[in-house]
Structure 1
Amino acid sequence: MALVFFLIMIAAGGIAVDMMRYEMKRAQIQSTLDSAVLASAGAPYGSDHRAIIEDYFRVANMTDYLAAEKEGEIVVTVNSASVTANADMTMDTYLMKLSGIKELRTTGGSTAVRKVPKLEVVLVLDVSGSMGSNSKLVNLKKAAKEFVTSLLNGSEPGNTVISIVPFSWSVSPSVATFEALAVDRKHEFSTCIRFKANDHSHASLATGNSGFSSGQPLDQMIYTALYGNFDEFSGSESSSDYRSCYANDYMEILPFSVSETELHAKIDSLQASGNTSGNQGMIWGAALLDPSFRQITDDLIAAGEVASSQAAIPSNYGTAETLKVAVVMGDGQNTTSYFFSNGGQWRGQNSDLYEVKSQKRVFKYAYRKNKKDKISYDQSKCSNNSWECVYESSGEIESAFYLHDNYGDNRYYNTEEGEYLSSSDWDDLQDSDEFVSMRRLDWEEAWGYMSPYYYYQVTGDPNAYYDYYYYDRLDGSEKDTRMKASCTATKNEGVVVFSIGFEIDQGGTAEQVLKNCASSENHYFRAEGININDAFSAIASNVVNLRLTQ
């Protein structure tokens, strides 16, 4: 009996030892599986996710236990990750062999699923004139397009929404955006907005419906140029860089796009011109991520500029599984912009520019006064006071602009013909048979046709030029302050801001402003030449990592 009990005890002890070995190994395998799939699921988009799992098993000396990968076990996109791995083990027993059990076998599996957030991105891109040098714009376009593609291609359709905000002297919203805002409209030339300092203290646009505006409408920026010929701001190379605002399609904001084709086309269309107003770029970039902009989104959908699927964009701050990101690229310091003094002599009604409409008329016949039935087809009768001539309109109504020189000789300058009319000739012009109408323009409209320097050349009056150039300037330092305020306002709402300094002086003002704008120094990138592609690639990887940790 003692021998029997001894053998039973030996067998039981053997089972316990083998089971303990088995359980320790099984737990180790499962722990390695769990750690490996979590690391793999959390790796940056584009990593070799299977290799990460294999590395974990190699380090744990358990490579032989890892099962081969099966189709569908690893599915990773920019905004989701599902990683599965399996392992199996066969262990020889020690004392359990006495009971006829020679092997213990186990299998294990683990799956890590990371549901990453939807993504709202705005690219705020410097397209000032300096971007046209050293192939900078060419390199930017390539890098920006690859950035867009990397985010969209790995995302479920509609889950990544990207806006593009080009800036130089100013930023040009689309007509539909402009019309949806509460703006004190003064002219029809462009859609740029002039913002006040306190407009940068919050992320939303201070529209007339905004709680930040006290019901006051936004101020439409005057469209003009520092230099240039009459009605030739965009055609004159010397004046185009000095335009206060750009009405060209390539300068317009592209809001809330999910189309790679559309975004690439927008990036390809960008052109370099003008000086730098990063404050303008940032206030629009912040606004396009602010939930209050949804009231504008509705109008953009109605106008066909935005897909109806984007009705809920921009989403509310703090929305679960939604990440808002701004990427700001600049290649230099903010520079001075010029404005006419509000309420001054060169604003408001009754400018010195007149539009005269005329229409050619063809002689039809003449009749003798008081004897209308006596008709003559001799046009020379028109010079006889006894005869009245009848004319028939011919051709289209034509417009001509005349600039009144009331600073000097009280003459009227025909901007097309380049000739002056005396005051008496001006009166005769309005009495001519071809005269249709005359309109005196408001100053805000007049400056859309002429620059203050052109006005000075024609009239000899330098005061408009002095007013525009000297008295209401917005210099680079003030722009830096306003840009910082917009960056801070959007960061305070949880927006992640990355910035890129493209071929700028290390440690200079431009770099400091961009660093201050970024969410941290680690969110700022320097770039030179084609290396701007590396900066955008690094940001794309950072965005993916941020999404995986939401």
Structure 2
Amino acid sequence: MTRISPENPEEPALRRQRISDFARNEDGVITIFTIFIMLMMLMVAGIGVDLMQNEMRRTALQNTIDRAVLAAADLDQTRPPTDVVEDYFDKTGLREFLTDVRPNQGLNYRNVTAEAFMRTNTQFMGLLGVDTLPVPAFSQAVEEVPNVEISLVLDISGSMRFSNRMKNLRPAAKDFIDIVLMGPAANTTSINLIPYAGQTNPGPFMFSRLGGNRYDVVAMDESDGGVDERVNNTQLPASETAGTGTDSSARYVYPNVSSCLEIDNSDFQDARLPSDGYYEQTAHFMNWRIASEIVRDADGNPVLFDENDEPVESGGTTRFVMDWGWCPQDQTSIIYASNNATVLKNRIDSMRMHDGTGTHYAMKWALALLNPDSQPDFAQMALPANNLVPPQFSNRPMAYDDNETVKYIVLMTDGQITEQVRPKDTMHVLNPEVHLGDRSSDRKSTTSQSTNVSSFKKQCDLAKEASRNVVIYTIAFEAPGTPETQMKYCASSDSHFFRATGKEEIAAAFSTIARQINELRLTQ
């Protein structure tokens, strides 16, 4: 201890001076400040490292739970949803963090909700008393198959014989059927299959119901183009003499083997079925020459076929790739509201090409068969006596604003809309065998190409009105230029239009459309 002696009175002042000098001394201040700042920076960086590590673990956990619920919610998934989710977590080594799985499913939907939780041990935040950070994850996925109504419109005009278009179309269209009717979707999905050429054939029942008036029945020999009246829509009175042919037991008559209605321009101004109550029947004729194919054997020699399409050594003909008629014959008429994949695919396999390209007719039928005003017609077709619509679809088409119903038109063509021509005489004796191209004096134009294009666009516009909620997909199959422009116009958007060339692209177009219709949605 320093003592202050009376002999040294300056010691207190000296001490005060030294203390004052120490207080004013700034040596080492920057070093201390620097150390403080560095500690703060390290602390912030450490917090950032802990948060980044936590976010990485959260992302991995969230990605796992998202993938798991998506797979579990797939209606095509045969395993129990809980098992699927747990398996995903097992594979990623995160099983212990899965806390809850809640599946909920019904006839046409499956909803899977899952939760997971883990904690991240901190490395730096522990200094602040935060030893762990929470890592929650939640996900919900639903695949819902609402009531789906589809009008599938397929071009079967004669130009489809080029470049194997028809051959390539058939498997692509059948794959579309398989996809949209896969699993539980078949319970709620109905398909109107609408083949079309120069006209669209609604079939004998709808022809009659809508007021179709068939042309007269007259005798005609098979050699002149007559057909067995047993396959005809009209028969002669038993007392009248019929034509003759190769089957001596058969009665041959003028062909009446199709059921197209001669609807007029006014019918294209609304979205309903033809409703005038009286329509003439489209004649049985060809405008352009019917196309045939020459089938050759291994030696390159032409193969001939008989009337049953069986190969013969002599006396036969080359095989036709088209059937006679601007109006498709009844075996290639519309199929209504079907969910029977076998029936639909058999029709696709068996449908035959015909003359002309009347896309406006096909679009008219496609929209009308989605119009709820047509429900009484579907109810009649669903009656056991008619058996044209499955009983469960007797209430279709559903209302446009039904929240549980979606409506689609899928339209495919390979050519532009043509002029509509007819024979001046509906029952001219040459109509069944000589095309109008060689009989210009017997031919008349009923509507111009531009008028038919306008009718087509009007139907597209009606379908795209917001109140109808109809989604339109279109495919231009090896049809550049004008046909492509027409298809683009009709599609709901540019993304709903597809351009296809060759087997792979037409298959991809139909498959993509089908999978978009069956879209799986992650809801949260």
| TM-score tier (shorter) | 0.5 to 0.7
Report deviation, 1:86. 3.2
What does 1:377-526 align with in structure 2 at a 5 Å threshold?
Answer: 444=426, 446-447=427-428, 450-451=430-431, 466=440, 468-469=442-443, 471-492=444-465, 493-505=468-480, 508-526=481-499
Shift in alpha-carbon separation, 1:31–1:159, aligned structure 2, 3 A: farther
Aligned: 1:202 with 2:284? no
Distance in 1 (alpha carbons) for counterparts of 2:198 and 2:98: 56
Number of residue pairs the alignment of both structures matches: 394
What does 1:338-353 align with in structure 2 at a 5 Å threshold?
Answer: 338-340=421-423, 346=425
Task: State the secondary structure of the residue aligned to 1:135.
Answer: helix
Q: 1:329 corresponds to which letter in structure 2?
A: M
Aligned: 1:534 with 2:508? yes
Distance in 1 (alpha carbons) for counterparts of 2:470 and 2:72: 22
Q: Which has the larger radius of gyration?
A: 2
CA RMSD between the two structures: 4.8
Shift in alpha-carbon separation, 1:35–1:477, aligned structure 2, 3 A: farther
Task: State the secondary structure of the residue aligned to 1:193.
Answer: coil
- Which residue is 1:218 aligned to? 279
Report deviation, 1:92. 5.4
Whether contact under 8 Å (2:408, 2:470) holds in the other structure is: yes
Report deviation, 1:227. 8.0
Report deviation, 1:451. 1.9
Task: State the secondary structure of the residue aligned to 1:338.
Answer: strand
Q: 2:155 corresponds to which letter in structure 1?
A: D
Distance in 2 (alpha carbons) for counterparts of 1:183 and 1:533: 37
Q: 1:120 corresponds to which letter in structure 2?
A: E
- Which residue is 2:294 aligned to? none
Aligned: 1:135 with 2:164? yes
Report deviation, 1:518. 0.6
Shift in alpha-carbon separation, 1:76–1:162, aligned structure 2, 3 A: farther
Task: State the secondary structure of the residue aligned to 1:540.
Answer: helix
- Which residue is 2:31 aligned to? none
Distance in 1 (alpha carbons) for counterparts of 2:164 and 2:104: 39
The match for 1:254 among 335, 348, 372 is: 335
Whether contact under 8 Å (1:228, 1:450) holds in the other structure is: no
Distance in 2 (alpha carbons) for counterparts of 1:454 and 1:108: 74
Aligned: 1:87 with 2:116? yes
Encode CA deviations 1:124-175: one digit per residue, 9 max, x unaligned: 0001111122221121111111111111114344211111100011111121
Report deviation, 1:242. 6.3
Report deviation, 1:333. 1.3
Report deviation, 1:535. 0.5
Encode CA deviations 1:389-416: one digit per residue, 9 max, x unaligned: xxxxxxxxxxxxxxxxxxxxxxxxxxxx
- Which residue is 1:244 aligned to? 326
- Which residue is 1:182 aligned to? 211
Whether contact under 8 Å (1:182, 1:218) holds in the other structure is: yes
Task: State the secondary structure of the residue aligned to 2:454.
Answer: helix
Distance in 1 (alpha carbons) for counterparts of 2:97 and 2:172: 38
Whether contact under 8 Å (2:142, 2:520) holds in the other structure is: no
Whether contact under 8 Å (1:34, 1:111) holds in the other structure is: no
Farther off after superposition, 146-155 or 35-44:
35-44
Shift in alpha-carbon separation, 1:453–1:544, aligned structure 2, 3 A: closer
Farther off after superposition, 303-312 or 38-47:
38-47
Task: State the secondary structure of the residue aligned to 1:312.
Answer: coil
Whether contact under 8 Å (1:499, 1:515) holds in the other structure is: yes
Q: 1:534 corresponds to which letter in structure 2?
A: A
Report deviation, 1:474. 2.8
Whether contact under 8 Å (2:73, 2:110) holds in the other structure is: no
| Gap runs ≥5 in structure 2 | 1-49, 217-233, 235-255, 291-306, 310-316
Encode CA deviations 1:288-328: one digit per residue, 9 max, x unaligned: 11112212112212201221111111111111121100000
Distance in 1 (alpha carbons) for counterparts of 2:473 and 2:448: 25
Distance in 1 (alpha carbons) for counterparts of 2:322 and 2:76: 46
What does 1:57-72 align with in structure 2 at a 5 Å threshold?
Answer: none
| Gap runs ≥5 in structure 1 | 1-20, 58-62, 209-215, 347-443, 457-461
The match for 1:284 among 365, 369, 391 is: 365
Shift in alpha-carbon separation, 1:264–1:76, aligned structure 2, 3 A: farther
Report deviation, 1:115. 4.0
Report deviation, 1:340. 4.9
Q: 2:431 corresponds to which letter in structure 1?
A: S
Distance in 2 (alpha carbons) for counterparts of 1:91 and 1:546: 33
Task: State the secondary structure of the residue aligned to 1:478.
Answer: helix
Report deviation, 1:178. 1.5
Farther off after superposition, 489-498 or 185-194:
185-194
Shift in alpha-carbon separation, 1:204–1:236, aligned structure 2, 3 A: farther
Whether contact under 8 Å (2:286, 2:434) holds in the other structure is: no
Report deviation, 1:176. 1.6
Distance in 2 (alpha carbons) for counterparts of 1:222 and 1:501: 29
- Which residue is 2:302 aligned to? none
Encode CA deviations 1:438-487: one digit per residue, 9 max, x unaligned: xxxxxx4x34x53299699xxxxx9xx55642x43433332222111111
Whether contact under 8 Å (2:285, 2:435) holds in the other structure is: no
TM-score, reference length from structure 2: 0.63
Shift in alpha-carbon separation, 1:451–1:106, aligned structure 2, 3 A: closer
Task: State the secondary structure of the residue aligned to 2:495.
Answer: helix
- Which residue is 2:140 aligned to? 111
What does 1:31-42 align with in structure 2 at a 5 Å threshold?
Answer: 33=62, 37=66, 41=70
The match for 1:192 among 251, 260, 266 is: 260
